[in-house]
Every structure is written in C-alpha cells, then in structure tokens.
A and B are shown apart, each in its own frame.
Chain A
Amino acid sequence: MTTTTLTPMNPWAPPRLSWRWWPVFLRNLLVWRKLALPSVVANIAEPLIWLVAFGYGLGALVGTVNMGTPGGSVAVPYILFLASGSICMSAMNAATFEALYSAFSRMHVQKTWDGIMNAPVRLDDVVLAEMLWAGFKSLFTVSVILLVMLGLGITHSPKLLVAWPVLGLVGITFSCIALVFNALAKGYDFFSYYFTLVITPMMFLSGVFFPREQLPAPVLLFSDLLPLTHAVQLVRPLFLDQWPTDAALHLLVLVVYAIGTFWLALALTRKRFAR
C-alpha cells in the first residue's frame, strides 16, 4: 500500500474540467426535449408580451428615441429601441431561471448531482454542464424571439448574425452569476432576493427601456458596472445595422463577469458539497 496522504481540497483551486460535462448536458437536453413545447411557450410568451405592451403601447406616446451613434444622432423608433434592449433582458432571464430554479431542483431537491457524482464525473464538470446548459437554453429562447421580431418586421439588420453569438455570451454570463446564488441557496425562497435585489435593478438601470443618459450621475456610474448595460451597448447598435463603439471593452466586461463568477460559483458549490 502506497502512502499518499490525503489533503483536504482547496475550494478555490482552479476548475478541473474534462469532457465528462457532455453526458450531463445531454441529460438536461433529453429531459427538456420531453417538456419542450410548454417550456418554449412559457419562455417566449412573457418577453413578447413586454414587447407588444411597451413597444406598441408606450411607443405610440414616445415616438422615437434619439441615440448617439458614430455617424451622429439618429432617431430610433421606440419599438426598435426596446426590442434591442429587451432581447438582452430575455437572454438574462432565461439563463437566470434555468441556473437558479432548475439547477437547484436537480442539485438539492432531486439529488441528481449526487447520483451523477457517484459515477466518474467531477463536481466541476457538473457545474460546467449546468452553466453551459443554462446558456444554451437562453440562446434557444433568444433565437425564437429574434425570429418573431424578424417576422414582425421590427428589424432586418444583417448584423443580427453578429448579435446572435453576443447574446449567447450574455446567457453564459448570467448563468455563471446565477450559479453563485444557486450555490448559496437553502431553498427556493432565497431566489426572490436575487430577483428583487439584482435582476430587477439590472432591468431598469441598464438602458433596456429608456436611454441611460437620463439617469442621475451617481446612478449612471452604478449602471456602468452592470453586465446587462454592456450587453445592451453591444446588441442595440447591431439591431440598427451599426457597429458598437468600445465593443472590445463591453465584451471584456462580460467575459470577466463570466469567468469570475463561474470560479466563485464553483468554489461555493465545492464548499457546499464538501460536507
């Protein structure tokens, strides 16, 4: 018998990832396929109701919004302004719901993760699979909403092809953030704090519904720190067939949020499971 002495694992150690995330992702995909239609309807109905109510209802009062672009100030129809922001919000919400409620059900209620980890699959790979799965579901939801927007003739910008992968990154970023709160949750009630204190302010302060420039200076400063702000700054110009300014900076913010919170989520989840 060799004498490898066991040392307790450091929860902050770098992620140890392998291809074993794939069968876990595939498991979620299989379950979702069984429940796909009701889940698609639920995911897509709400964002479209927002769009119709605010875009056409409020849009009739607002008319156009003036937006600064590299080519000068442009008057943008409110429905287009809103659609380009709310698609980012939809990416955020879809990823958040999946990485909070659904992941928590699998982790805590059904003990699916425990079962998986009795097989040769590491917790790190399970968390990665959940993160990518929530990102995938978010991208699916966003894709269907984009198709509806195209059908309604809200935009025909060819740069939507670029917006699509950007929205995929937005979903990934928010699924990483949500997994942090998943790791800390004792029950479903905990998530209402996250929605009230994080998601709702993000919705209203990131320039989804109105130009951020109208916010008071201190709030604007706070708004600059929010990942959804950067998502909107990237996606909105693409809806207008323009290239975003400071694209590299906005992308970097999203990527840093994603990597930082994934690491944090993993450390907290490791602590949770190291009972």
Chain B
Amino acid sequence: MPRMSTPLFEAAELVKRYGENTVVNGVSFAIHPGECLGVIGPNGAGKTTTIRMCLGLTAPDGGRIHAFGKDMPRDAMAIKAQLGVVAQMDTLDPDFNCAENLLVYGRYFGLKDAVIRARIPRLLEFAALTHKATARPGELSGGMKRRLSLARALVNDPRLLMLDEPTTGLDPQARHLMWERLQVLLQQGKSILLTTHFMDEAERLCSRLLVLDHGRKIAEGRPRALIAEHLEPDVVEVYGPGALDLAQREEHAPLRALAARVEVSGETVFFYTAQAQPLLAALGEHHQLRTLHRPANLEDLFLKLTGRQIREDG
C-alpha cells in the first residue's frame, strides 16, 4: 500500500500570514507514489495558498517542504523539474497554437526541441486535441483549454501533478473526459495533488482527502472512511409545506427521535440516521411532504465539517 512507502512529497506545519490574517495555519500532509490526494475546503480555506507554497511561489512563514528527496526552497528548481502544474486560471499563450504552446513550455524545463517535438503528438492525443494541433487557445472550448493545460503540465513527464480546481467551469461531458484522463495518469503511476469544490470529483479520483477550513486541517482520510467516521450512513431529505415544523415543533419530537441528527438548511430538513425504515414510515403519514432517501455522501461530510454558511467570497 502507498502508505508504507516513502512519500514523494511532504509538507509539515505550513504557516502563511498576510498581515494579521493567518490563511494557512499548521497544515501538514504527505503524498505517496501513485496516490491522488484531494484538498477540499470552502473558498478562502487556504487551498490555493497551500499549493503556491508547495511550488515555491510564496514563501511560508513557517513549516517545511520536502519533495523527491530535496528541500524547498533551496532546491525549488530541481523539485519543479519533476512537477506538472495546472493552475486555476489558464495561462496558455494566446498567440501560439496548441503544438507551439507545448513546445514553448517544454523549453522552460530545459528540454531539447527534438525531445519535446517527439512528445507533442502523444500529448495532443492524450488531450484529445490532435485535430486542433494548429488551433490557437482562443478557438478552443473551455474543456479543450483545460486539457491543453493538462497536456502542457505533462510535457516534462512529471512524477507529481498539482491541479488547482482542474474542472471548475466545465460542462459535464468535459468534466467526465478530464476525470477519465486523470484516471489514466493514476494508472500510469503518476501522483496527483488536486484541489476541488466538487465532491463527486473528490470521491471519484482521490484515494485520500484533506479537508481545510480557515487555514487549518480539520479532517484527513479515505473518502468512505471519513464519511463512516463522521456521519450516519443514511440521509432523508424532507421538503414541502410544514417540513420545517417537523424540525421545530414540540409535537414532532417522537419523529425526530427516529433520527440520530436533524439539520435545517433553508426550507429543507435533513434527517441523519442509521435506520431509515422507521423514519420513512413515520414520514409517510405526512402526505404533503416530499422525501429523498439516499446514502450519506462527501457533500454531507463537507457541510457538516465546514458549516452551511456562505463564505465571504463564496
């Protein structure tokens, strides 16, 4: 199992302050070979700042970063030579076509033109962009641009990929294609660090998750294990006229006793329970209500750990 091997990348007790504001506060994690580590958290949780520190773009105010047997920031250039990065915002060169984007980017790694040119057809094929080799980024769809960014991040054949919200803003087809490509990379033995707002993405791709909030690590583990640890297995969502009464009125206390936990969000009531059948039977008597019975998922976990309030920049 990856857990037993030496980590490829290790960050310990990272701290970053901007003035009085501590945006990353003692975050530690490790990435093992072949592993996909997901970093999730609300806006402003410190995800992007953590990645920027890992890339040596922002100097931490405390902590250590160690990768591929080398230290940041002393060996930053040697570490980056083995990293592939897809940033939140595309930084593709608008004046170059897809193939030229790859060529020019490969040169930043000190690769010889002949080496890069030999890799370009495979990279374009991987990104499903072979037919767009001579198109400029302005002529590409959002999904194509992101895949070109991914192909560009692979030009140096990196051991570890750092992907900051790689599918934000993509339609479902483009997201699924991106996920499929990332799965292929994991099967090839690459390691991935991924930040995301999509819990289905985290659950699908990540072998392990790190939950950040207010700059702190508040949970870490395998997605299913985290759900089992923090949540009851079943969720019953209740909507409709009088739904809120179930959560609030004294007379409905016996019904609430059938659930381990009851939460209200807007007009919806969430019942968390290990035994859904008695609860569903009791709810069945309220004909005006609509119910949705489903297993607890990462989104429930995320909301439980980080709360339901909208964040300032959310």
Contacts and interface: CB of A to CB of B under 8 A. Distances in A.
Contact of B73 (A6, A30, A31): A6
A120 B59 contact: no
A139 B63 CA distance: 47
A34 B134 CA distance: 14
Contacts of A40: none
B246 to A, nearest CB: 48
A31 B157 CA distance: 26
Query: Considering residues A7, A110, A118, which has the most beta carbons from chain B within 10 angstroms of its beta carbon?
Result: A118
B59 A20 contact: no
A122 B75 CA distance: 12
Contacts of A3: 64
Given A30-B104, A110-B94, A120-B109, A8 B61 contact: yes
Contacts of B62: 5-6
Interface stretch (A21-29, A143-151, A154-162, A193-201): A21-29
Given A114-B87, A115-B91, A120-B81, A4 B108 contact: no
B63 A27 contact: no
A182 B294 CA distance: 55
A240 to B, nearest CB: 42
A1 B66 contact: yes
A222 interface: no
Contacts of B89: 111, 114
Give the secondary structure class of A's interface: loop
B87 A115 contact: yes
B87 A118 contact: yes
A27 B94 CA distance: 12
Interface in A14-59: 20, 23-24, 26-27, 30-31, 34-35
Interface string B68-81: 00011110111011
Contacts of A8: 59, 61
A61 interface: no
A221 B107 CA distance: 48
Contact of A2 (B66, B78, B104): B66
B74 A4 contact: yes
B80 A6 contact: no
B210 interface: no
Contacts of B71: 2, 4
B7 to A, nearest CB: 9
B100 to A, nearest CB: 7
A112 B96 CA distance: 12
A117 B105 CA distance: 11
Interface in A55-92: none
Contact of A119 (B58, B61, B63, B80): B80
Query: Considering residues B10, B58, B89, B108, which has the most beta carbons from chain A within 10 angstroms of its beta carbon?
Result: B108
Nearest to B80: A120
A1 B108 contact: no
Contacts of A30: 96, 100, 104
B105 A119 contact: yes
Contacts, number: 94
Nearest to B75: A4
A110 B110 contact: no
A116 interface: yes
Given A1-B10, A1-B12, A116 B108 contact: yes
A31 B108 contact: no
Contacts of A122: 77
A4 B66 CA distance: 9
Contact of B60 (A6, A24, A27, A115): A6
B93 interface: yes
Contact of A118 (B58, B66, B85, B96): B85
B160 interface: no
Contact of B72 (A6, A111, A275): A6
Interface in B94-146: 94-96, 100, 104-105, 107-110
A274 to B, nearest CB: 6
A31 B91 CA distance: 15
Given A110-B91, A119-B80, A274-B58, A4 B109 contact: no
Contact of A112 (B10, B58, B61, B91): B91
B24 interface: no
Contacts of B58: 274-275
Contacts of A185: none
B108 A23 contact: yes
A125 to B, nearest CB: 10
A30 B105 CA distance: 13
Interface of A: 1-9, 20, 23-24, 26-27, 30-31, 34-35, 110-112, 114-122, 273-275
18 contacts: A2-B64, A2-B66, A4-B64, A4-B72, A6-B64, A6-B65, A6-B72, A9-B73, A30-B96, A30-B100, A111-B89, A117-B57, A118-B55, A118-B91, A119-B105, A120-B77, A120-B109, A275-B58
Given A2-B66, A31-B93, A120-B109, 12 more contacts: A4-B74, A5-B62, A7-B59, A26-B107, A30-B96, A110-B94, A112-B91, A114-B91, A115-B105, A118-B55, A118-B83, A120-B78
